[in-house]
Amino acid sequence: MYVRGIRGAITVEHNEESEILDATSELLKTIITENEVKPEDICSVFVTVTHDITATFPARTIRQMNGWELVPLMCSLEIDVPGSLPKCIRLMVQINTTKQQNEMQHVYLNEATKLRPDLKSS
């Protein structure tokens, strides 16, 4: 058994609560579907946002998902680097798995596909 990290990112168009929560949910659901992950396999989820996302905590939507009540979550602010991708939500999902690192399916949606063109995106 290994602890593996799965990266993901998505952008929103507006700093609005419902859009942020919907985007976070879409990103996490895509990650867990692509990687066949169950909540009990999750070690923790790190959630980061760019400085222009302030309307809500993205982790709120994860806490409301069935079966995710006990998964440790943490939100943080990305480093504000000039020229970096705006309005971006990133997830680092750490899982317990027997899969190899190269079997992890990283997910980049919307404008976030620009972040890691070298990784398979959904």
- Active site positions, annotated: 7, 63, 75, 78, 90, 108, 116
Q: What are the backbone dihedrals phi and psi of residue 113, each rounded to the nearest 5 degrees, phi first?
A: -60, -20
DSSP code of residue 59: H
Q: Is 90 annotated as a binding residue?
A: yes
Q: How far apart, in Å, are the Cα atoms of 6 and each of 41, 99, 115?
A: 12, 12, 14
Rounded to an integer, what distance in angstroms lies between the CA atom of residue 91 and that of residue 24?
9
Rounded to an integer, what distance in angstroms lies between the CA atom of residue 20 and that of residue 12?
7
Q: Is 4 annotated as a binding residue?
A: no
> Which two structure tokens, joined as six digits, stand for 85?
């991708």
Q: 18 Cβ partners below 8 Å, 6+ apart?
A: none
Binding residues: 7, 90, 108
Binding residues for prephenate: 7, 90, 108
